[in-house]
Amino acid sequence: MRRNIKLNNEILKQMKKIYYLKNKEYLDWMGFKITDINKPSYHHITKAEYLRKNNESYCATTENGAYLGKKSHELLHKIESIDKELYDSWNYIFLVINKMQIYPIDDVWDIIFELQEKTLKIENNKVKKYK
């Protein structure tokens, strides 16, 4: 397990170099500020369990990762059990960002903030949407 954590941290460092410019606000891919409390966290877009189950090699990569803060990552996994469609929308936008290989453009941030609003609304209302 410790090896995976170390690898994930290395991938996060690579992702920070690819996606974050020094003159841009330091937001994770769910639109929340990275802070000392909300430290960076690696999210597997395609889950490791799925890859193992399908005999695909498991390795954290920049292509299969999303750059999230710890709190955002926890929130994303709460949403997964409440609204699978919203969870899938998040993972789709993460894949779009990865394909771009640059800091997200304004149109992508617009989508991120729309998804963030839906996510916070569900989280705040604790609405159960079994899908």
Query: Tokens at residue 121, please?
Result: 């609304």
Residue 19 lies in a domain: yes
- The pLDDT, as a whole number, for residue 75 is 95
In a domain, 25, yes or no: yes
**Would you say residue 50 has pLDDT above 80?**
no
How sure is the predictor about 103, in pLDDT bands with cuts at 50, 70 and 90? confident
How many structural domains comprise the chain?
Answer: 1
pLDDT of residue 108: 96
Residue whose C-alpha is closest to residue 42's, from 21, 20, 56, 63: 63
Does residue 131 sit within a domain?
Answer: no
Mean pLDDT of 101-105: 89
Examine residue 13 and state whether it is found in any structural domain, yes or no: yes
Q: Which domain holds residue 48?
A: 2-125
Token digits for 80?
Answer: 């997964």
The secondary structure element, H or E, covering residue 86 is helix 84-100
Band (pLDDT 50/70/90 cuts) for residue 20 is confident
In a domain, 130, yes or no: no
